[in-house]
Structure 1
């Protein structure tokens, strides 16, 4: 399939996604031609676990939480994705029921790509398939590292490390999720997370001026928490 691309053509979220970065503007246009836009409100479920859905979901605007239900029946946050990041690829590749579910953390816009069309694109453009594999490998490594960290490191260390990672080098950050979701991702209760944040503030390494906002006052001190 070939589409006509004008000079002012904007491929939107397609151009934000690393797996499509090696495509030409014309080829991105072909991807965009099979993509539909979906708007989801804050708190709305993008997809449910247990269902087979042959679609790849790409975040164009907003943030989406990916979670799963543990054997004990609790919801565990796996990751939070933002613009240019995607989810749903495993169900597309293996045509198996989803093992996680996705929920919008804020009003968001998703670009939805049909699975069969995505597979055809992978055959035509091998770079897409390779980058999907690279992304999956990175996620597995990150998940393994987080599981090991949650099992073998202190709640203080996990809290400090999360602040540093989320700050992106800035001295101020607004949490991209609720404290409950962050606590779930770090393998602790919300009450424990709140206590550790208060302790870090008492130690003078951070300051919390308001809900969900953290100022890093002493970065070396925060990095030294163990």
Structure 2
């Protein structure tokens, strides 16, 4: 599992892995761009990604989509099912996806019998709440360029693998998806992505995005593209 520690150093709390406390369950398969669950009804299960990547979105009042996050192998989604209330949430397969899932009712029963599972799910929820809090702070204090760079660095760290040229290679997210995550238009993301490529802070194609982390961080420390 990939979870940030809630505390570090002497006060570190051991992070429980929900998978260690869950039995093998049913498996589902979804094609690229297929909806796993949609708005208007809560997901009735907790999912873990076995292969592929899943995008979680919510829709604004004016009909625009906001990407909440992207999850990959061994990461959970659909935890809102444990609330039992309809949410304006959409889960979509970004490529060929395999998931294992547990009915929400079964999760509640297992949690009563396995306190470690309850702790693991609570840690999952708290960790994501902290991440979303940091993201809201970024929306409040940072301009689009810095939000984009922060998003690229985060996705590279979570989803990327080392590339031969010294960068970090990750899935080729569309500029539309990135704009929905950053909170701007596709055209503005394309403008900044091209500018960052000219600065040799990243490279991208239809196959992948390669992020040069040190170069991106140095650029931001120097004041960004407009400096």
Q: TM-score range by the shorter chain?
A: 0.7 to 0.9
1:94 lines up with 2:83 in the alignment:
yes
Q: Classify 1:207/1:52 alpha carbon distance in 2 versus 1 (closer, same or farther; 3 Å).
A: closer
Structure 2 counterpart of 1:81: 71
In the TM superposition, what are the counterparts of 1:6-17 in structure 2 within 5 Å? none
Equivalent position SS for 1:117: helix
Whole-Å Cα distance in 1 between the matches of residues 185 and 210 of structure 2?
19
1:166 deviates by: 2.3
| CA distances 1:33-57 after superposition (whole Å, capped 9, x unpaired) | xx11100000100001111442111
1:85 deviates by: 1.1
Structure 2 counterpart of 1:19: 18
CA contact (8 A) 1:67 1:76 kept: yes
Whole-Å Cα distance in 1 between the matches of residues 136 and 211 of structure 2?
27
Q: Which runs of 5+ in 2 are unaligned?
A: 1-15
Q: Which runs of 5+ in 1 are unaligned?
A: 1-16
1:220 deviates by: 4.5
Structure 1 counterpart of 2:92: 103
Structure 2 counterpart of 1:51, from 21, 41, 48: 41
Whole-Å Cα distance in 2 between the matches of residues 84 and 128 of structure 1?
16
Structure 2 counterpart of 1:156: 145
1:223 deviates by: 4.5
- List 4+ stretches of structure 1 deviating above 6 A: none
Structure 1 counterpart of 2:60: 70
1:189 lines up with 2:185 in the alignment:
yes
Q: Classify 1:180/1:54 alpha carbon distance in 2 versus 1 (closer, same or farther; 3 Å).
A: same
| CA distances 1:17-37 after superposition (whole Å, capped 9, x unpaired) | 92133x4xxxx5xx11xx111
CA contact (8 A) 2:18 2:121 kept: yes
Equivalent position SS for 1:200: helix
Structure 1 counterpart of 2:51, from 58, 61, 64: 61
1:207 deviates by: 4.0
* Count of residue pairs the alignment pairs up: 199
Structure 2 counterpart of 1:199: 195
Structure 1 counterpart of 2:125: 136
Structure 1 counterpart of 2:218: 221
CA contact (8 A) 1:161 1:223 kept: no
Structure 2 counterpart of 1:9: none
